[in-house]
Amino acid sequence: MTAGEPSHTDKDGAVPPRETSTKQPTADIAPAGLRPLSIANTMSTIGAKRTNPGQASLSKTIAASQTKVAIPRQRVAAAPRYNRRVPRACSSCRQRKTKCSGDTPICRQCRELRATCSYPDGWREKTKKQVEALSEKAQEYENLLKELRGMVEFSAAERIRSLLDKYGPEVDGSSQSQSRSQSATPQDDIPENDEPSSPSSIGSLEAIDRVEEDINRSPHARATGYMGKNSEITWMQRLQREADQRAQGLPGSLEFGQDPKIDNAVALHAVNYHLDDLDISVPEPVQLYAMPPREVADHMFEAYLTTVHPFFPIINKPLFSAQYRTFFDSAARPGDKWLAILNMIFAIGAKHGHLIAAPWRGTEKDHLIYLTRARILSMNGDVLFSHPDLQQVQVEGLIAFYLLASDQINRAWRISALAVRSAITLGINMKSSSPATPDLSKEARYRVWWCLYTFEHLLGIMTGRSTCIRDGVCTSPFPIPFEEEQLQMPEAVEVLTDAALRDERINNVMASSRIRQMPLHPVNGKDASHHTRAKNTEWVKNLPINYGLCHLYYCDLTVVVQEIVNKVYSVDCVMVPWAQIEQRISELKSRTDIWKSSLPTGLDFTRKDDNGPDILRCKISLALHYYSARITLGRPCLCRRDARRRGAHPSFSHEMAVITLHSARHMLDLVPDEPDAIQLYRIAPWWCILHYLMQATTVLLLELSFGTVHMPEEENNFVALSKKAIRWLFAMSEQSIASRRAWQLCDLSLRKLAQGMKYDVSDMPSYPYTPEPKSTISPEPLAGQSVSQADGDYWGPQLEHLPVSVPEGPPREDHDTSTAELMTSLTADAQDSYFPYDPISGEFMRSFFPNSNSNSNENDNWEL
């Protein structure tokens, strides 16, 4: 009897009897308690033993009707059973191993049992989803390879390109054509085959993988050495060629009618304004242990600590200052290397005293005397073949710094490499986990390394050469943003003693954190990533402004600048498509933007705040470094033909050329319109200010030589800025021979451009060019400068017992000739390429390393 159907009962309400069927296949299915009552049981219940014929016929009728109605095989409470096969069963029925009805979205069994019902995918759906997942994964891998192709070395990039061409050349070709379309407008006359960075496609990166002249042909060429494409000397070489073209009335190389493949007719040493071709030796013997008077020594020491040490903290200022006072106030006898460090500090301070015309300055050659003493005390041939220590690293670093300050960059380049090698020998470039080394000593060594790192990369930018510090060689953490006198403060001690906290607050939040070497096994394994870290710079930004904070940001930007050299000016750029170089430039530009946005408010050089001289020095140093990085980054785009603006949508090269010109303008805006060289040497980084000014001046003059194709509306402003820069070089030439050379080069270039482009240069200084001396030791003293001092002026209070040797008069004028004859008589292999030979008497020589049997405690007290 089916639910919902009316039951057939008699008038008494009893269930009528039903005829027993011979075939009841489901009679035994229902439980006994739920089976319907049979006719026999019913009749026995009401006590009917017999029936009459009428009742029998009635019973047959009821039984027949009952047979038709009560056939259903299911009862309401009985579990269903299905004979049909369903295409798939749900997961719950599979787990219970019961037959599934196949109803969707929920089968009957799951609905009755109130279980979760879900149908697994069939093999067709599984196959389809797997194919879709693999296709998506392959597409992501392909996109990743395309991105990495512009970031890896040339051999790996070629393998990636061949792989992409093998499995999808049509996709790769379309992507390359799309990338090229973003670089150049349709009107640009660029060759269709612009894949390699050939001279026709790159411009300023032409011949980056070869040397175009014989460097060994002459002493002047050897003194200059090789200069790479990111050196302003190479830019000056290009400027001289362009200026000669303009002076003859010919168009510039970026204008129609000029062949861009014309060989450079100007040698590099002819446009080198540095002084490596001049001698730095002292013609007479020097007193090895002599010292200047205490008053002069204090001035030179203070000049070094004020202008140089904040940006080059290679010594421990509190410790060395205490040792300096002990040395002059008592009869203490330090070691030779400590005396060499002190003499180099005097040499650098004396050089600065001459630039600012200080009243306490000595004779013009006094800084060379200090250099000679330090060289004998620490750079003897025996020392060079001995194992270095920390003091030797400091001496070599200070000698290299002095040579740069004296415009001897080729010599500084060689000594800087020696200092870096000595530092790497001692492991100063690595993070120290030695429990025997105090935290303050670790921090001092970290600062020594970052001094060498920033100095080496500055020389790399100036010379265009690859540095000796390879990527990934440095794991030394950044110096903490405190001065040496502040390292005992609780905030400094907190990060000084906790390496993890130091990484969290300093190393991992700087702009160069993605560039520096990652650990071999990151904390999160293969899922670790630099770009997913939160860049929380609030702790650094909220620190009070000090020289330590400025040095931290200077080091951070130096890492970014070195990445610019590696990615844009490397040799592999010759064969890298320009579209990939554009991607590199764009990425590096964003990193410089991140660095600038992360500056604290007190160091933001775009804000015109009234600060003291200390903060002003920090701002000027960071600003010059930043604008120099932008000029270096955008310089290759300045000479590209597709950098000309055509149409409403300028090319990427045009945008970067504009950024380069704006950076040059902002750099010159840092100095006032009226030149004051002495004030500039007091506030700015005087040891490399000429390099920064030459970068900006050369870029502006190059733009004028190109016909101001990038910013034609700014032509008059660029002329005015060029004049301003040349006036500054002229003012600086009164104290600097290198500045005089730079002024001559730029002034001649501007006058040649004015001749062909009708510029007015009547307001420029027109003094005749003075001949340059053949030696940095001038036979005549400067006007208004003291000629000599007393015999005992260079002797310390405790060293008066040593013999005195003073030259009888000024050096002979034929000294240069005799030196030249001596040098020509020596072979190239035998001559001292670092410094000429000094005829120093043997009585002034002594052991450069104290005897181990001597009083070692006294020498140990003078270790830095």
Non-local (6+) Cβ contacts of 34 within 8 A are 75, 77, 78
Q: What is the pLDDT of residues 8-67, one digit of tens each?
A: 444 444 444 444 444 444 444 444 444 444 434 444 444 444 445 555 555 555 455 555
What's the pLDDT score for residue 639? 77
Cβ atoms within 10 Å of 109's Cβ, excluding its own: 21
The identity of residue 581, as a single letter, is I
Strand-pairing partners, residue 279, are 775
Eight-class DSSP state of 227: -
Radius of gyration of the chain (CA): 43
Non-local (6+) Cβ contacts of 487 within 8 A are 440, 443, 480, 493, 496
Let me know: does 283 contact 811? Beta carbons within 8 Å. yes
SS3 state of residue 775: strand
Non-local (6+) Cβ contacts of 756 within 8 A are 245, 246, 247, 248, 249, 250
Eight-class DSSP state of 295: H
CA 301 vs CA 292, 786, 864: distances in Å: 11, 20, 17
Eight-class DSSP state of 437: S
The identity of residue 420, as a single letter, is V
* DSSP-assigned letters across all residues of 505-533: IIITTSTTTTTSPPPSS-TTGGG--STTS
Q: 3-state SS string over 297-360?
A: HHHHHHHHHHHCHHHCCCCCHHHHHHHHHHHHHCCCCCCHHHHHHHHHHHHHHHHHHHHCCCCC
CA 673 vs CA 312, 356, 681, 722: distances in Å: 29, 19, 16, 11
* CA gap 247, 618 in Å, rounded: 42
SS3 state of residue 279: strand
* CA gap 450, 705 in Å, rounded: 39
Residue 709 tokens, joined? 């194709």
What's the pLDDT score for residue 179? 39
The identity of residue 754, as a single letter, is A
* CA gap 406, 428 in Å, rounded: 27
Task: Sort 631 into a burial class: Cβ within 10 Å, 0-12 / 13-18 / 19+.
Answer: buried
- Greatest Cα pair distance in the chain: 168
Residue 17 tokens, joined? 């009897």
- Look at the block and give the residue holding tokens 């309400």: 13
Let me know: does 465 contact 457? Beta carbons within 8 Å. no
Residue 718 tokens, joined? 């660029």
Cβ atoms within 10 Å of 119's Cβ, excluding its own: 19
Non-local (6+) Cβ contacts of 22 within 8 A are none
Let me know: does 541 contact 600? Beta carbons within 8 Å. yes
Let me know: does 452 contact 412? Beta carbons within 8 Å. no
What's the pLDDT score for residue 114? 87
* CA gap 344, 398 in Å, rounded: 6
Let me know: does 164 contact 193? Beta carbons within 8 Å. no
SS3 state of residue 635: helix
Where the chain has pLDDT below 50, the residues are 1-51, 62, 76-79, 169-203, 254-264, 517-534, 775-861, 863-864
Residue 117 tokens, joined? 């019902």
What's the pLDDT score for residue 582? 84
Residue 667 tokens, joined? 């750099």
The identity of residue 425, as a single letter, is T
Let me know: does 72 contact 2? Beta carbons within 8 Å. yes
Residue 5 tokens, joined? 């159907």
Task: Sort 732 into a burial class: Cβ within 10 Å, 0-12 / 13-18 / 19+.
Answer: buried
- What is the phi/psi pair of residue 775, to 5°? -150, 155
Strand-pairing partners, residue 775, are 279
Residue 447 tokens, joined? 């600062």
For the chain, the structural domain boundaries read: 105-165, 285-405+408-479
Classify 605 in phi/psi space as left (phi over 0), alpha (psi -120 to 50) or beta: alpha
Q: What is the pLDDT of residues 391-415, one digit of tens each?
A: 999 999 999 999 999 999 999 999 9
What's the pLDDT score for residue 624? 96
* CA gap 583, 149 in Å, rounded: 10
Cβ atoms within 10 Å of 72's Cβ, excluding its own: 12
Residue 293 tokens, joined? 């008077």
What's the pLDDT score for residue 80? 52
Cis peptide before 169 (omega within 30 of 0): no
* CA gap 700, 251 in Å, rounded: 17
